[in-house]
């Protein structure tokens, strides 16, 4: 019974980061949070829980590289 409840929490945790990922780019488009959106989907793929706090440090360098990279995929989404 112990290993059963422990395995249940990880399921919803992994689904949480996946859900906001596609929903973030849409509402973020009009908002000035473009750099934040680019940093979320990028590093959140490998380690969403560990990258969240670490995003504060790379945030400075991320926005510069994320802005041009984000515009490419973001523009491709609405075009489709």
Three-class SS string for 15-40?
A: HHHHCHHHHCHHHHCCCCCHHHHHHC
Tell the residue number behind the tokens 């802005």, with chain if given. Answer: 67
Distance CA 30, CA 26 (A): 8
Whether 77 has a pLDDT exceeding 50, the answer reads yes
Please, which residues have CB within 8 angstroms of residue 41's CB and are 6 or more apart in sequence? 21, 24, 25
Q: Where in the sequence is the domain holding 72, given as residue range(s)?
A: 3-79
Quick one: pLDDT band at residue 24, thresholds 50, 70, 90?
very low
Percent of the chain with pLDDT over 70: 0
Instruction: Pull the structure tokens for residue 37.
Output: 């959106």
Instruction: Pick from 12-16, 30-34, 70-74 the range whose average pLDDT is largest.
Output: 70-74
Half-sphere exposure of 57 (CA within 13 A, CB side): 6
Overall number of domains in the chain: 1
């Amino acid at each position: 019974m112990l290993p059963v409840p422990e395995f249940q929490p990880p399921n919803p945790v992994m689904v949480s980061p996946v859900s906001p990922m596609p929903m973030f780019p849409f509402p973020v488009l009009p908002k000035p949070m473009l750099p934040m959106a680019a940093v979320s989907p990028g590093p959140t793929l490998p380690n969403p829980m560990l990258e969240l706090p670490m995003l504060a440090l790379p945030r400075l360098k991320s926005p510069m590289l994320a802005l041009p990279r984000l515009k490419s995929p973001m523009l491709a989404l609405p075009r489709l």
